Amino acid sequence: MSGEKLGIFGGTFNPPHIGHIYAAQQASQALGLRILFIPDNIPPHKKMPPHSASAEDRLEMTKLAARQVPGAQVLDLEIRRGSCSYTADTVEQLARLYPGDELWLIVGTDMLCTLHTWYQPERIFAHASIAALARDTGDRGKIEKSAAFLRQKYGAQIALIDAQPLPVSSSQIRDGLYTSDTARWLPQEVFAYIKERGLYRLDLRS
Ligand code: ATP
């Protein structure tokens, strides 16, 4: 039994940005986690915009971004599983893959506040503790309220990571990529990949 602490960081990563990297670094440092980035195939709780990058491109970009998080790994298990990516299935799969390790699910404010609406959340809390991070200043109250609710309703184990928020999002970056300078919120290698492939270009949108 290895007894490692693993930080499961799922997302659409459309594209991965400095907010993701920072959140992973902060959770890793605060709790001693080795990070597993897991890009989803089809996210159950958000609609993919029509100009989104493909699952393969999101996976490649996530690999480039993950280089900035020491010891991190990128797993393609949700993409390989296909169809809708339910975190409950992923966490159970990881519990089987890494028996004896401690699983932590890393989430930002938006995801923590909706966790109770996810598919079979009790299966998630049965295998993983939650590491929650604020995405914006003023999120603290929302996080504490959701954490109290999830602890009370599901007996969830939740740690609040005390880090200064870095308020950026993939949608904001996509929207300004070729018109303003939102590319500054991307790792250089990710932006180079996007440019080379012409991803997210307004003039190519259908
Ligand atoms: P979009 O704008 O397309 O909805 P996003 O920026 O929210 O995308 P996701 O890939 O959906 O990115 O997020 C994956 C996980 O990372 C979620 O738990 C989300 O809350 C968290 N996250 C995203 N951005 C940040 C950030 N700036 N700070 C902390 N956590 C973040």
Q: Does the CB atom of residue 21 touch ligand 1 within 6 A?
A: no
Token pair for 182 = 């939102």
Per-residue pLDDT at 48 = 92
Ligand 1 centre to CA of 1 (Å) is: 32
Q: Does the CB atom of residue 16 touch ligand 1 within 6 A?
A: no
Token pair for 166 = 């870095």
Per-residue pLDDT at 146 = 98
In tens, the pLDDT along 34-80 reads: 999 999 999 998 889 988 999 999 999 999 999 999 999 999 999 99
In tens, the pLDDT along 85-120 reads: 999 999 999 999 999 999 999 999 999 999 999 999
Q: What is the spatial distance between Cα 148 and Cα 178, in angstroms, rounded to a whole number?
A: 42
Q: Does the CB atom of residue 58 touch ligand 1 within 6 A?
A: no
pTM of the prediction?
Answer: 0.96
Per-residue pLDDT at 180 = 85
Nearest CA owner, ligand 1 atom 13: 11
Q: Which domain holds residue 158?
A: 5-204
Token pair for 111 = 């995801």
Per-residue pLDDT at 181 = 87
| Domain CATH number, residue 137 | 3.40.50.620
Asked if the model's pLDDT at residue 127 lies above 60, the reply is yes
Ligand 1 centre to CA of 21 (Å) is: 10
Instruction: Report the domain count for the chain.
Output: 1
- The structure tokens 């409950």 sit at 88
